Structure 1
Amino acid sequence: MGSKYHEKVSNIKAKLSLILADIVTANELALEAFKTLDFTKFKEAETILSKIGLKADEVDNEIIKAFALFGPEANELRFLVAFLKMTNELVGIGDNIKKYARRMNEHMQSQCDLEEFKSSIVLLHKSSLNALKFILECFGDLHACSYEDSYRKVLVEESINDDLFAVLEKELLSKVIEEKELSVDYVKVLGTLRKLERSCDRSVNIANLMMYAEQGGEIKLFK
């Protein structure tokens, strides 16, 4: 395959990496906002992710052009297919983080007392963030990256994330029973935290797509 094709693919990789970097930055801002009660950082996180759909569409169009212009061979085709599906996962993660930032901003200024859950929420958020960072690290040098190692690391974070969410779910539902006047508010908090849990699932999907791109086989994604 010629230099123009490789230049096109490098451009696609770079744009995907920038989208990933934006998501990580927004995620870090949302975590910092929760930890420090600096609500302006929630707004910053939302702003960073406000055009993620448009950026993903731009990448998708570049991938479609690569299909049309170059007729890639089997191994190259896998990478393009993986990149095309990754944009959907990245938009999903970005939307989850935007909603998390907006809703958590509201929860923390409501009558809900989240102090007793703070340490667990921070750990939940960190596991979701770590999974994304492992993927971004791999995207920094796809040739040197160990796809299997990256996939295992993301799976570990997803497992931690699931366990933490299960604990928080139990604790928040107990709060719903104890404080009936705020039951709806605590149920909404649980729904907001699920955005972090779902983001981690999508990170596993991206790690799986990277494995598929390198090794082939079947694409298996969380639904």
Structure 2
Amino acid sequence: MLQTFKTSVNEVQEKLINIGNDLVTANEIIVDAITDCNVEKFNNARDYIKNISSKTNEIDNLIIKILALYTPEAKDLRQVVAYFKITNELSRACANTRSFIRGFTDICTDLEEDTISEYAIPMQNSTIRAVKTAVSMISCNDSDELRERYEEVLIEENKTDDLYSMIEKNLIQKAETSSGEFEKYHRMLRALRKSEKIAGRAISMANLLLYANVGGSLQAS
């Protein structure tokens, strides 16, 4: 039973990693798309995160089957429960990415070049690093290495928070001095907020993966 359990868990890991890698690729393409407001590139990024609900449902059904067949305990149970929750985090991260693409496509040409280069692109790059590191934790079994990677995700997620706070302050100041353009700046902030939320999903995944390995309490939002 142990071998078949491990095989099933490895299958779950592989499927989670595949979705995570596609999410990373989509966000990497977005960086290029942001630079020149390239709609074709935005659409290409969207292609990598299609049909996520069916993919996560497939993983959830596999996890339910694992719980029913093997009734895992202790660390094995923590691991399976964490994966069950991570499918939701990946789904939400993909939804945030789609929303970011949709929102940024609408406001890209209105953003000044310095705002894009100083805030939007660095924030997106930190988001990518956060997600990529969180996904790499799925196949990591060393507790010390997991803790180090968790800290890396936390650092990048904090960067996205800081950058969003700066761009929020910058755009609000512009809105206050630009009569009749409040809605435009509000749409900009709403779009950029999605990038920050993707990083938030990455830290939730990292929390779950740390919990799966070392125990403690669940901290995913």
TM-score calculated relative to the size of structure 1: 0.94
Q: What is residue 69 of structure 1 aligned with on the other side?
A: 69
196-205 or 113-122: bigger deviation: 113-122
Match in the other structure for 2:48: 48
Q: Deviations over 1:87-141 (max 9, x none)?
A: 11111110001111121112124xx2332311211011111111011122333x3
Q: Which runs of 4+ in 1 moved over 4 A?
A: none
Partner of 2:205: 206
How much is the aligned-residue C-alpha RMSD, in angstroms?
A: 1.4
Paired residues of 1:43 and 1:102 also in contact (CA < 8 A): no
Identical pairs, percent: 32
Q: In the alignment, does 2:185 pair up with 1:186?
A: yes
Q: Which residue of 1 aligns with 2:125?
A: 126
Task: Say whether the 8 Å CA contact 2:103–2:190 is kept in structure 1.
Answer: no
Does 2:157 align with 1:158? yes
C-alpha distance 164-3 of structure 1, shift in aligned 2 (>3 A): same
Give the 5 Å matches for 1:143-154: 143-144=141-142, 146-154=145-153
- In the alignment, the residues of structure 1 paired with residue 137 and residue 209 of structure 2 have an alpha-carbon distance, to the nearest angstrom, of 9
Equivalent position SS for 1:6 = helix
Q: CA deviation at 1:144?
A: 4.8
| Structure 2 gap ranges (5+) | none
Aligned pairs (5 A) from 1:1-223 = 1-109=1-109, 112-119=110-117, 120-139=119-138, 141-144=139-142, 146-222=145-221
Describe the superposition over 1:161-187 as per-residue Cα deviations: whole angstroms up to 9, x where unpaired.
111110000011112112233220110
Mind listing any 5+ residue stretches in structure 1 that lack a counterpart?
Answer: none
Q: Does the 8 Å CA contact 1:128/1:158 hold for their aligned counterparts?
A: yes
Contact 1:46/1:102 (8 A) holds in 2: no
